[in-house]
Structure 1
Amino acid sequence: MVHSRTTQRRRAVILGLVGVVSLSLSACAQSQRGTDNSGSGAVGGTLTFGAAGAPKLFDPFYATDGETFRISRQIFEGLVGFKPGTAEAEPRLAERWEQSPDGKTWTFSLREGVKFHDGTDFNAEAVCFNFNRWYSQTGAGQSEAVSQYWTDNFGGFSDGAKPSLFKSCTVKDAKTAVVELTDTTSKFPDVLGLPSFSMQSPTALQKYDANNVQAQGDSFAFPEYATKYPTGTGPFKFVKYDTANNTVELERYNDYAGEKAKLDKLIFKIIPDETARKQALQSGDIDGYDFPAPADWAQLEKDGFNVAVRPAFNLFYVGLNQRNNAALRDLRVRQAIMYGIDREKLVKSQLPENAKVADEFLPDTVDGYTPDVQKYTYDPEKAKALLAEAGVSNLQLNCYWPSEVTRPYMPNPKDLYGAIAADLDKIGVKCNAVTKPWNGGYIEDLDQGKTDLFLFGWTGDYNVADNFLGQFFGSPTNRINTGASPWGQQLSDDLHAASIEPDKARRIEMYKDINKRIMSEYLPAVPISHSPPALVFNSKVKGVVPSPLTDEKFAPVSKG
């Protein structure tokens, strides 16, 4: 999903992101927002963080949700990581890597002295065990709803039913693993920084039968490893998930090979309601929480809390499923919906300060973005005319919005849905509201194509066009079901061709051309906005570095 080669322009972008972070975490003379949290602080104690939703499970390979990944980032590490506060890849469990001239063979030199939480060694055998585990999924484990990050990034599995980007992993010696790919790709090795591709203990994976995923109707049952025994190399290790009290408890891993965590314990308390999270912070029940409502930022600062603002690296969009409703297969209908949503008003009234309207499906910091796309301003009369031209009247859509979740791009789904539905009602499009918990049916219904219109979005994994466009439209069977249109397969093919194009300049031009066609000829969904989300902590919490990838690590964090 992501390109790996860093250009001078991208370096400038990343430096810019660092500058934003530095600005947001200093300048306390102007505002409490982003007060410098880099002080060393006290060692020990427990930090309790308010999470917006429950984790799906604790095996990051099978995860797709941010709440699972937030916890995974504390327990696990990958061969690749990201520099704090940026989207730039850097070595983590691999000290360095080399690629062959054709880009298909990658040699990873591994850190020595690293142990998993069960005391077993991290080495090249463990690396290849993990790669082969991912590649050899069978049955329910191959479902896109279960192994989505593998299927999105690597394709098929060892049964050969579908092509795979992965070919093999070979142990050269204890500290050297060689990974072979079937094709050149710009994704590698940055993609290995995703939580899904974290290194997990082969011993624990085998002991607790980690691959034993079973389909149960429209959902899946996961083995005990995924719910009770996640085992990584990170600075914190898993203790328990107390479902009665809605808490996940981690503790410092004292044999961690890097700088030890300062906290004794890290607790994630699940509080789905944002107002309840704010009240818990104010009462001292928690030390911080994610995604404070933008309208609350100023008051939280006045009350002495630190609001740490992340750089915007996301997209909020309205998905239009073309499979279920024939009317949505008509470009004029999709354009009418685009013209019928007052995105400018939505951004100003519902989203954080410095959020901006999205004119396409890429943030403007990503190579491949182009301002030369067809623009859509709010024009309800034009929307009505397009619907009439298409012969569509009294259009009714099953419109989905998620509950029990707050996403960086979607701080209050209910209010965002209400504003969008009200706008569409004015042009004669009626929304029949369907709401389900994010991890309690919403994602499953999207994956199964049950929607007509839905709220969704994406926070970038790293700074490359394919990570956005490939995620949205890289497969004709995506959540938007572009395969229901005659151009769906062509769009997928064009995105693949751009992703594997070895010439950087040519690849960028290919993405620019694709962006133009997406916004003029295809319009498979409605891009709404890019938002700078935030975290908030009490004044005793030090060491938080806000990440554009929501990749915050708690190991350096302390309570003064």
Structure 2
Amino acid sequence: MRARRLRAGIAVAAAVTLVLAGCAESDREDDGSSSSSDKTLVFGVAGDAKALDPALTSDGESFRVTRQIYETLVRPEEGGAKIVPGLAESFEPDSSGLKWTFKLRKNIKFQDGEAFNAAAVCYNFDRWYKSTGLMQNPDVTYYWQTIMGGYEKNESADLTTSLFKSCTAQGDDTAVIETTKVTSKFPSALALPAFSISSPKALQQYNANQITGSADDIKYPPYAMEHPTGTGPFKFVKWDTANKTVTLERNENYWGDKAKIKTLIFKTISDLNARKQALRNNEIQGYDLVAPADVAALKSEGFNVLTRPAFNILYLAINQNGPQKGALANVKVRQAITHAINREALVKAKYPEGSTAATQFMPPGLEGYNENVTKYEYSVDKAKQLLAEAGVPNLTLKFWYPTEVTRPYMPDPKGIQELITADLQKVGITVQLVPAKWSPDYLNGVQATTDHDIHLLGWTGDYGDAYNFLGTFFDHATQEWGFNNPALFEAFAAADKEADAQKRFGMYKDLNKQISDFVPGVPVAHGPPSLVMAKNVTGVKPSPLTDERFVGAEVK
């Protein structure tokens, strides 16, 4: 995910019933071999959470906390991207693909003691669907709009008809959700934290929908700031804004295996070097977004560096409607730019071990990845030849790049820009650099204006589906890429509504081939980001989706 307001296609769901074997869970008892049961784990994070009602947030730091408090009907498997049962032990569609039946786990309580059941599930869906006022602001309910579109009563002409149609409780343990069309987004998108199930009683008691302020200054209600209530293994204790900490404690009534630690604290330490020093001083017991240059040193000191599987893409976008739109609309010029960039050398110089140069706009391992796409090997001579054939041997490009930021897919923006600039200059392209602060200047500049020829940006997948990458970028016209390709957009629409998963995967492969031949930009790299834990902390499994669960964390 990233901070942007683009449509996102989310994971494919196989049209079969998924049943989780061995559902019975037993309470853990400390056997005396570990003192973890009364321990506190402090995890250092780069920024504050925005709010603790996951329906109202889309940022990673908010989700990191709420993933411990709440649960969803379906979820990604631990350490992977495959969708597996969550609060629903099985789910299947009817023959039309429009009506999904979720069989719910029994004997689960919310953290306020209220029963989790089908009525609670439908209450949550109806709450989201019936949102009004500031609840329809795209910054407030981003993922509802991204996945479901509009609401029961849309208050903006920009909103579309809702994908969600209805939720019906059939007894306590069966919820039937009906959609308005077949789409690859459903039901796997329900694994997003934004679709976490909250206690209906707590939502009502703490005025969860009473958002105030303005579109530019959102004020969140008490539920989102002081009373988040889910079914997860940790429950909320306090949010100390002065000390920049959020404190959770073990949910002793959790339906699954209990957390092994008693207290979990997320502490904001914005500076990366300060987080590293705090770990060395044992002020924290872990932190995220380890600098690639620090990995070897931390490992040598005995810290547990956990490397996530690469589930991202850095790309160099080529804007066909920018200052040099005449030249960049020529596919030979775009091919020349792609041949000019030495991706292998860039990855070796700027990325951690395990990173790979990209050949397409999605990571390997996802269904739909196509080994046979057109590849553009590094060749200065080929790039010069194509520029000459296109009649633009003297090309000047306005190159935007971000400052004051690192991203999992972009660990060193300035350094990456410098290498790409040098490569472009070798083939005779003049580069005009435009550095800009990441938010809001850079994101607004490259996504909402046409004042850029090329720029760096990327994506970390929400869930394990090709559409979540390809469709996010290319299933509609945007300012970022500056092209209109109706045939490509129609091919995406056909893939999205294909109910047969295997057919859909084949369509994704074809889309990858079309995109590679069209050359909208240059897929650059896939980088595996890391988090680190203290020497005596085990049990946290790295997730490609940053879906780390601290329920298994153990401090010895």
TM-score range, shorter chain: 0.7 to 0.9
Q: Following superposition, which runs of at least 4 residues in structure 1 exceed 6 angstroms of deviation? A: none
Whole-angstrom CA distance in 2 between matches of 1:445 and 1:234: 39
In the alignment, what sits opposite 2:430? 428
In the alignment, what sits opposite 1:520? 517
In the alignment, what sits opposite 2:541? 545
Whole-angstrom CA distance in 1 between matches of 2:111 and 2:55: 18
In the alignment, what sits opposite 1:29? none
How far did residue 356 of structure 1 move? 0.5
Deviations 1:274-309 (A, max 9, x none): 222222211212111122222222221211111122
2:247 to 246, 249, 267: 249
Unaligned stretches of 5+ in structure 1?
Answer: 8-38
In the alignment, what sits opposite 2:228? 230
Number of residue-to-residue matches in the alignment? 521
Whole-angstrom CA distance in 1 between matches of 2:140 and 2:335: 33
Say whether the 8 Å CA contact 1:347–1:529 is kept in structure 2.
yes
Deviations 1:103-143 (A, max 9, x none): 21111122223222333332212211221222233344334
2:256 to 255, 258, 267: 258
Whole-angstrom CA distance in 2 between matches of 1:141 and 1:454: 33
Say whether the 8 Å CA contact 1:75–1:235 is kept in structure 2.
yes
Deviations 1:508-541 (A, max 9, x none): 22212211111112x3332111122222111110
Say whether the 8 Å CA contact 1:394–1:430 is kept in structure 2.
no
Unaligned stretches of 5+ in structure 2?
Answer: 1-9, 17-32
Whole-angstrom CA distance in 1 between matches of 2:448 and 2:202: 32
Whole-angstrom CA distance in 2 between matches of 1:128 and 1:315: 36
Match for 1:551: what amino acid?
A: D
Bigger shift: residues 334-343 or 81-90: 334-343
In the alignment, what sits opposite 1:410? 410
Distance 1:373 1:252, change over 3 A: same
How far did residue 435 of structure 1 move? 1.5
Whole-angstrom CA distance in 1 between matches of 2:127 and 2:446: 27
Matches within 5 A, 1:66-85: 66-85=60-79
Distance 1:441 1:139, change over 3 A: farther
Deviations 1:221-258 (A, max 9, x none): 44443333322221112233333333222222222222
Q: TM-score, normalised by structure 2?
A: 0.85
1:99 to 85, 93, 97: 93
Distance 1:454 1:140, change over 3 A: farther
Say whether the 8 Å CA contact 2:15–2:93 is kept in structure 1.
no
Whole-angstrom CA distance in 1 between matches of 2:34 and 2:82: 24
Whole-angstrom CA distance in 1 between matches of 2:212 and 2:487: 34
Say whether the 8 Å CA contact 2:58–2:143 is kept in structure 1.
yes
Match for 2:92: what amino acid?
A: E
Deviations 1:200-239 (A, max 9, x none): 2223333444334568465644444333332222111223
How far did residue 407 of structure 1 move? 3.5
Distance 1:448 1:264, change over 3 A: farther
Bigger shift: residues 331-340 or 347-356: 331-340
Say whether the 8 Å CA contact 1:111–1:175 is kept in structure 2.
yes
Match for 1:288: what amino acid?
A: G
Whole-angstrom CA distance in 2 between matches of 1:446 and 1:253: 44
Whole-angstrom CA distance in 1 between matches of 2:353 and 2:69: 33
Whole-angstrom CA distance in 2 between matches of 1:424 and 1:246: 44
Matches within 5 A, 1:355-374: 355-374=355-374
Whole-angstrom CA distance in 2 between matches of 1:275 and 1:369: 37
Whole-angstrom CA distance in 1 between matches of 2:335 and 2:150: 35
In the alignment, what sits opposite 1:117? 111
SS in 2 for 1:434: strand
Matches within 5 A, 1:238-387: 238-320=236-318, 325=323, 327=325, 329=329, 331-380=331-380, 383=383
SS in 1 for 2:504: helix
Deviations 1:475-509 (A, max 9, x none): 434xx545x4221x443332121122123343222
In the alignment, what sits opposite 1:462? 463
In the alignment, what sits opposite 2:82? 88
Say whether the 8 Å CA contact 1:309–1:534 is kept in structure 2.
yes
1:533 equivalent to 2:536? Answer no
Match for 2:40: what amino acid?
A: T
Match for 2:277: what amino acid?
A: Q
Whole-angstrom CA distance in 2 between matches of 1:301 and 1:245: 29
Whole-angstrom CA distance in 1 between matches of 2:399 and 2:314: 19
Whole-angstrom CA distance in 2 between matches of 1:182 and 1:364: 32
Deviations 1:42-100 (A, max 9, x none): 21211111212332332222322222221121111001122222222222111222321
Say whether the 8 Å CA contact 1:321–1:449 is kept in structure 2.
no
Whole-angstrom CA distance in 2 between matches of 1:282 and 1:248: 21
Say whether the 8 Å CA contact 1:316–1:410 is kept in structure 2.
yes
1:191 to 186, 189, 192: 189
